[in-house]
Structure 1
């Protein structure tokens, strides 16, 4: 039986601080996932739960509020959602692999790390920095409470289960959030 991984259970705070705390958790979990001596199965399940809970809370509360406050553009919000979808898709590949000690697993982890690291960097630069400058402390505190509440509710609902991640990826494909160009390029090479 694997040891549960603490994902934190904030209930309030400045939304920027809460998001950054999760970003540092993502980085820590990715380091553990790359470590062949860690309980990689437990780590990938924790990472999936955190990724889905975090993304759902941002998309439900953070992006729309920052958009209404003109801290970010509609394009930046949509781009954040596209990057969440790409992260979910990469996460699903990691979850679907049976073994965690194979080259296929390491390759899937590398793909996930690339998607996740890109998103964290871009979000911190293009969404969180403007939020600091354009949104007042009270709004950020109110948004922090809403973000934390949704994040915790998602974790309680087992949001990182393979079935739920698969459902999210399928919905993102239908919404056009995932770029199919790579698949088309591969097919044209056949």
Structure 2
């Protein structure tokens, strides 16, 4: 049976994003298809974290609330970088390559920090049973976002606009 530990689920998504980056960097791959999958995954993942995981982690005294705030800020940066890539039509262009590297940089920076801070704090301070409950809530929220086509350019544009309010 697959783990429902929220830490394991988040890490699994991070590794899938890395795989999709490799595909998007490959000039011979179907970059547009990989970007569609990536966009859906990134937005569903970040939204589910913000809805279900971050509010719960914020309540633990040994989890730094500033780390949670910083992670949300980094989600917004990744959203902006994703939108810039989604708006590039030619996947063989220099503009695509430049926008992709901006996205890779933003997402990898966030994933690295999140894994070293919030996820390690969650492992150390949140009971296994609670991490499994959070994992289930994360999966359900993520599935709802995926079902709604959260990675479309229109949805990402709306998310970026909402973050600017």
TM-score of the two chains, using structure 2 as the length reference = 0.97
1:1-190 pair list within 5 angstroms: 13-174=4-165
After the TM superposition, list the runs of 4 or more consecutive aligned residues in structure 1 that deviate by more than 4 angstroms: none
For structure 1, the residue ranges without an aligned partner over 5 or more in a row are: 1-9, 175-190
Q: 1:62-109, CA deviations, whole angstroms, 9 ceiling, x for partnerless residues?
A: 111111122422211110000001001000011001110000000000
- Residues in 2 aligned to 1:80 and 1:37: alpha-carbon distance in whole angstroms: 33
Corresponding residue SS for 1:36: coil
Contact kept, 8 Å, 1:49 with 1:161, in 2: the verdict is yes
Change (3 A) 1:144 1:77: same
Say which one has the larger Rg. 1
* Alignment coverage as a number of residue pairs: 165
- Residues in 2 aligned to 1:86 and 1:95: alpha-carbon distance in whole angstroms: 14
Change (3 A) 1:81 1:75: same
- Residues in 2 aligned to 1:11 and 1:62: alpha-carbon distance in whole angstroms: 19
- Residues in 1 aligned to 2:58 and 2:25: alpha-carbon distance in whole angstroms: 36
Change (3 A) 1:171 1:151: same
**1:11: Cα distance to partner?**
8.7
For structure 2, the residue ranges without an aligned partner over 5 or more in a row are: none
**1:12: Cα distance to partner?**
6.4
Which stretch of structure 1 is more off in the superposition, 66-75 or 39-48? 66-75
CA RMSD across the alignment: 1.3
TM-score of the two chains, using structure 1 as the length reference = 0.84
